[in-house]
Chain A
């Protein structure tokens, strides 16, 4: 067994809420280590802190690898660096669109300037203030996954899962989910 084989197996594990994409497409799997002849360690990172799908995903990874004959599977949860939709694969974004969910449209909430160097707890308050100034963040150009129009409008900042917002298309009039930039 090699790590490549484990990655292949993980590509078959789908996200419980959005079954067309795999946990690898989502960027949740951060590392795979083969630790013995029939054992491996898989490092995953949570999408949102409270995402109820995380436990289901960890269980699905366990059982997929066990079913393939790997006896010992350790799941390691890593928080840092924090998950971002930038890690979603290009094919994952295409699959989302095909499924009727608009993929993340722009770069993520940039917290890189806030993160390092880790010297003192005094925060770079200017960067923080800019992050929540009114109107500082332009609305993303969200393209309708049904008709391709960018003439769309937000209905609700939150949707059916923590990772989505609700939009509607002003051309084809269809409502749709938008996978938020994170």
Chain B
């Protein structure tokens, strides 16, 4: 598979899988405001997914479109990082996962506005304002929960500790990522990681939470299609209709 198509699918799959995770909470959020916020963030991510998938499908030129990419691929074809497929858990897990993702996503999308590929730069420009709003919100909430009650702090710290091992994969570049860096399409890993660590450390510090060591052992494999079992269940639910009734439309 062409490096750029692969890279675009990674961008799209990250946004889509997290979007699907968040919409599982639609109607079940812990408070009405949170319910609406999660659904809105989910919707933004889905909109971004469509732009990445559409471009990937065009470049690939195999007659696939955004729907085929979303509904007719199996788990091993998905290239999202393991972080986004982790279950919603308790609300601290949902928010910490979101905060870790939003921080990376924000600095990545900000960098992609200067991509050498004009279409990627355009999609990033469109997404940046949405992603900015997401990160402001999730950062604020981490501070409120971490520097909140004894219980909220304990839950949030546990979620930070448990999800930490999934935060290294986005910076663990393989040949596909490196090819994109060489072409000026994507930003280098080191600079992005430095920004991520710095912002996460600021927010966790303000939230009176402790940050796990940056050189901790990290999970990997999602970008190459090696997923946790959670992804299969997520796709089974999301793809059911198209698998059972192929080609059906609204």
A positions within 8 Å CB-CB of B: 46, 48-52, 79-82, 108-109, 111, 114-115, 118-123, 125, 128-129, 131-134, 137, 155-160, 162, 166, 182
Query: Chain B at the A interface: mostly helix, strand, loop or mixed?
Result: helix
Query: Chain A at the B interface: mostly helix, strand, loop or mixed?
Result: loop
Query: Closest CB of chain A to B208's CB: distance in Å?
Result: 14
Chain B residues with CB under 8 A of A160: 36
Query: Closest CB of chain A to B108's CB: distance in Å?
Result: 9
- CA separation between A155 and B33, bound complex, in Å? 8
Contact of B132 among A52, A132, A158 (CB under 8 A): A132
Chain B residues with CB under 8 A of A109: 129, 132-133
- Partner-contacting stretch, out of B78-86, B182-190, B224-232, B233-241: B182-190
Contact of B112 among A48, A121, A162 (CB under 8 A): A121
Contact sample, A vs B, 23 pairs, CB 8 Å cutoff: A49-B126, A50-B45, A52-B43, A79-B122, A79-B123, A80-B126, A82-B126, A108-B129, A109-B129, A111-B113, A119-B114, A121-B116, A123-B107, A123-B114, A125-B107, A125-B110, A129-B195, A129-B198, A134-B206, A137-B136, A155-B33, A156-B33, A156-B36
- Known A-B contacts A52-B43, A128-B107; A120 and B114 likewise in contact (beta carbons under 8 Å): yes
Contact of A114 among B113, B139, B199 (CB under 8 A): B113
Chain A residues with CB under 8 A of B40: 158, 162
Please tell me if B127 contacts chain A, counting CB pairs below 8 Å. Answer: yes
Please tell me if B216 contacts chain A, counting CB pairs below 8 Å. Answer: no
Q: Which residue of A lies closest to B137 (CB)?
A: A157
9 additional A-B residue pairs with CB within 8 Å, beyond A48-B44, A123-B191, A157-B37: A49-B44, A49-B51, A52-B43, A79-B123, A82-B128, A115-B113, A120-B116, A122-B111, A123-B111
